[in-house]
Structure 1
Amino acid sequence: MSLKEQAIKGAIWTYIQQFGTQIVNFVVSIFLARMLIPEEFGLIGMIAIFMGIGNTLFDGGMTSSLIRSDNLENSDYSTVFIFNLVVSIGVYCIVFFSAPLIAEFYKQPSLTKITRFYCLSFIFSSFGSVQNTMLTKTMNFKKQALLSVPAIVLGSTVALVMAKQGYGVWSLVGLTLVNTFVLSCFLWITSSWKPTLVFSLVKFKKHFKYGYKLTLSGILDIVFTNIYQIVIGRFFTPTTVGYYTRANQLMMMPIGNISTALNKVAFPIFAQLQNDEMRLRDAYKRIMLLVLYIINPITVLMLVLAEPITVLLFTKKWLPMVPIFQVICLSGLLYPLHLYNLLILQVKGRSDLFLRLEIIKKVLLTIIIIISFYYGLYGLLWGQLFFSIIALFINTYFAGKMIGYSTQNQLLDMLPLYILITFVGSTIYLIDTYIFNNFTDIIRLALSLVSGLTLYVGLSYLFKVSCLSELKNIVLRK
């Protein structure tokens, strides 16, 4: 099977997995948002940072090292498995004993028990992390999809039953615990590989040397990705955190899933091309532009239609999140660019540079947060967008140098797509405001979405946008 065929097949099954799980998650979240109150989502949002750090520690750099390394032996996998398990237990113990301090920091006593139960997922996930990595390395995304979708369905069923019975925030805890436990069980049962009690110090040093910098970078990223939940939770209210968390999750539903799905396919493919700069640059450019072509219209239409989307999905009690959501969507337009530029650093084995850049960016973000905090919640949100723009120039500069694709050239290649979607978004905003505004929310949304996508595809065809032909060829498997 050619590299292109592998990419297409991998992308299809990755999307089935990614969107299968996320569609279930999204539908369930709609029901939960209607049954629960924003404050209960806010409580979970306050401890999201600990979930992120835990997952990064045992599913970050070491597993990435396995994906990019050749001639692996059982001792490689067993060493990483043992390390992941020990680290997950250690991190959970730290979180368990720190839970009262976390609750005191946020002035929410209920967080002690919530944190202790919620973070059990660290240990559950660690049991299946290496098996999942092996599937990624071999690009067996079909199996990943067939295992992950049933797991999330079971977790979602438990969450809905608990919410219906009045368990409140604990239904969200149950969702995560059941999902991670069942998925790890599925991975363990169906995998032909089983860990042995072999811990090779040589193998550990090899993978740790590459992986620890990525892990530290990942932790920094998680801390600062969730820094807004921390600041908002400490100085505002759980309800405000709930609005921010729900807005961010809604934005990441299409953006994060499309980008992450292609990222899973792109990383092993880029790894195979890491020594061929021309082919790597070409593959990077094509994937990046295609992702932007798919994501941009979705993001802009969500921004323009934020109010009817919110009311239709979550009811009017969530209306205060609309302006928060719109600012977050602006930052979301740059998300794929960050992701794929940083992927180049990983593929090239420059985890040292990856870490240094993350430290520099986080220092800048800290300064921006301190300044923007004095302008309230929306000052923080606009500061987040400003930081994203600065970080984009940093990422594209260093990644571009490695593949001969400068920041200027990247921006010039992307500019036509951003001009196109800005025009489409502005047009739909005017049509929705002056023509569709008097219709019911569902009709208003349907008419606006159909009009927007028709205009987008029509203009793409008229101006011969290459991404449209690329997408057509992928769909037709050419």
Structure 2
Amino acid sequence: MSLRQKTISGLIWTFSQQFGVQLINFLVSIALARLLMPSEFGLIGMISIFIAIGSSLIDSGLTSSLIRTINPDQRDYSTVFFINLAGSVVIYFILFLAAPLIANFYDQPILESIVRVFTFSFIINAFAGVQSARLTKEMNFKLQMTIQIPSIIVSGIIGVVLAVQGYGVWSLVYMNLSQSFLSTLQLWLRSGWRPSLILDKEKLKHHFKFGYKLTLSGLLDTIYNNAYNLIIGKYFSAAQLGYYTRAQSLKQLPVNNISRALNKVTYPLFASIQNDNLKLRAVYSKIMRQVIFWLAPTMAILFIFALPIFQILFGEKWLPAVPYFQILCFVGVLHPLHSYNLNILKVKGRSDLFLKLEIIKKIYTTIGIACAIPFGIIGLLWWQVISSIVGLIINAWYSGKLINYPLNEQLIDIVPIFSLSIVVGAIIYSFDYFFSSAILLSDIWRIMFFPILYFLFYLGLSYIIKIKSLADFTQLILKK
């Protein structure tokens, strides 16, 4: 199978997996949002930073090193497997002992037991980390899809049943544990790989040399991405944190579907052509334009119709999350650009530069967060937008130099797409304002009719002004 065929096949199966998983998660989240209180989601949000840090430390960037390594053997895989497993046990017991301190920090005694139960998923997930990395390296996303979706469905049913039975926040905890167990069990049984009793010091040294810098970078990024949960949970109420996490999760629905699915394919794809800068630039620019072409209008629609969407899906009790969500839409549209620029640094083996950039970004971000706290949650969210823009400029500047695709050329490629999305958004907003007032359209009709109208305008104008992304999409998907 050619690289192009593998890429298209990978995209199809990854998007199927991503959309399937997100759709199921979305339906489950709607049910749980109606059954549980915002404060109960806020409790899980409070520990998210510790969960994310633990997950980042367990992997140590070693699986990323496996994916970029040319022809890794059983010694590579087995060594990484046992190191990750040992790391998961250590991290679990550290958090087990730290649980009372976490509960005291937030003044929420229930968090002690939640942390101790929830983090057991670290050990469960460590049993299948290498299997998942092998499938990603082989671009076998079909098998990953058939493993993940049944796990999501069964665990979602467990979570909803427990919520109906009155388990409250514990329904979220046990749902997560059951999902980890089911996906790990299937990966172990169906991936076709088993570890050997091997711990090769040279292999460990090789992967650790590359991976530890990614781990430190990922750790900084993880702390930053979850810092808002930490600060909101500490200085504001659990309910307000629940509103924020609900807004964040809804924002991530299109972002994950479009950008994470592509990111899963692009990293092994970029790694396979890492020594061909001309080809790497061409592939990178095409993928970047493509993801922005679909993500920008999606986020514009969600921004415009945020109020009726929350009203219909989650009910009145979640409406305070609407302004949070609208601000986060600006962050979401930039997220894939960060990922693809950083992937260039990784496949080029510049984990040292990756780490340096993360340190720089996190220093100014931390200062900004401290300054934004007096302005409340809205101030924190606007600072998140500003720091995302600055971070993108930094990432694009350095990654662009490695493949001769400078920042100004990247902007030339994507600014027309952003501009078109804004113009069409303004038109649709005007139509919605006029018709909703004139003929009193219901919320359901608004979110059914106007998004379709938006995309008709958007695709039509893209064709008329010859947006390159539309031609790329036609060639990639429709060309025999």
Question: What range is the shorter-chain TM-score in?
Answer: over 0.9
- What is the alpha-carbon distance in structure 1 between the residues aligned to residue 230 and residue 35 of structure 2? 25
Distance 1:291 1:268 in 2: 17
Tell me, in whole angstroms, the C-alpha distance in 1 between the residues paired with 2:360 and 2:447: 42
For residue 441 of structure 2, the aligned residue among 439, 442, 446 is 439
The alignment partner of 2:193 has SS state of coil
Q: Which residue pairs with 1:360 in the alignment?
A: 360
From 459, 462, 468, the equivalent of 1:460 is: 462
Equivalent residue letter for 1:136? T
| Residue segments in structure 2 that go unaligned for 5+ positions in a row | none
1:405-455 C-alpha deviation (Å, 9 max, x unpaired):
111111111110011001011111111222135222111111111111111
Q: Distance in 1 between matches of 2:190 and 2:333?
A: 38
User: Which whole-Å CA distance do the structure 1 matches of 2:415 and 2:71 have between them?
Assistant: 42
**1: CA distance, partners of 2:423 / 2:377:** 29
Q: C-alpha separation between the residues in 2 aligned to 1:128 and 1:454? A: 43
Q: Quick check: 1:413 aligned with 2:451?
A: no
| Deviation of 1:472 (Å) | 2.2
For 2:242, the equivalent position in structure 1 comes to: 242
8 Å Cα contact 1:148-1:183 kept in structure 2 = yes
Within the alignment, does 1:204 sit opposite 2:201 as a pair? no
Q: Which amino acid aligns with 2:450?
A: S
> What is the distance in 2 between the residues matched to 1:49 and 1:336?
21
Q: Which aligned runs of 4 or more in structure 1 are off by greater than 6 angstroms?
A: none
Distance in structure 2 (CA, Å) of the matches to 1:168 and 1:474: 46
TM-score by length of 1: 0.98
- What is the RMSD computed on CA atoms of the aligned residues? 1.0
Q: Give distance in 1, aligned partners of 2:228 and 2:286.
A: 33
Q: Gapped runs of 5+ residues in structure 1? A: none
CA contact (8 A) 1:428 1:448 kept: yes
TM-score norm. by structure 2 comes to 0.98
Per-residue deviation, 1:164: 0.8
| Contact 2:60/2:208, CA 8 A, preserved across alignment | no
Instruction: Give % identity.
Output: 49
Contact 1:436–1:447 at 8 Å: present in 2 too?
Answer: no
For residues 198-246 of structure 1, the C-alpha deviation after alignment (integer angstroms, 9 at most, x for no partner) is 1011100000000010011111111110000100000000001000001
Give the match's secondary structure for 2:441: coil
Q: What is the CA deviation profile of residues 174-216 of structure 1, one whole-angstrom value per residue up to 9, with x for unaligned ones?
A: 1110001110000001122111221011100000000010011
Partner Cα distance (1:149, 1:405) in 2: 37
Contact 1:232 1:240 in 2 (8 A): yes
Distance of 2:265 and 2:370 partners within structure 1: 38
Residue 2 of structure 2 aligns with which residue?
A: 2
Deviation at 1:376, TM superposition (A): 1.5
Pairing of 1:77-226 with structure 2 (within 5 A): 77-226=77-226
Aligned to 1:403: 403
1:47 equivalenced with 2:47 (yes/no): yes
- Partner of 1:458, secondary structure, is helix
SS in 2 for 1:65: helix
1:258 positional shift: 1.2
Greater alpha carbon shift after TM alignment, 59-68 vs 19-28: 59-68
For the 8 Å contact 1:7–1:265, the answer to whether it is kept is yes
Q: Contact 2:18 / 2:256 at 8 angstroms: preserved in 1?
A: no
CA separation in 1, counterparts of 2:338 and 2:264? 15
Output the amino acid matched with 1:400: G
Per-residue displacement from partner, 1:269-313 (whole Å, max 9, x unpaired)? 111111111000000000000000011111111011100010111
Matched residue, 1:22:
22
**Please, which moves more after superposition, 427-436 or 123-132?**
427-436
Report what 1:472 is aligned to.
474
The structural deviation recorded for 1:477 is: 4.9
CA distance in 2, matches of 1:171, 1:474: 43
Number of residue-to-residue matches in the alignment: 478
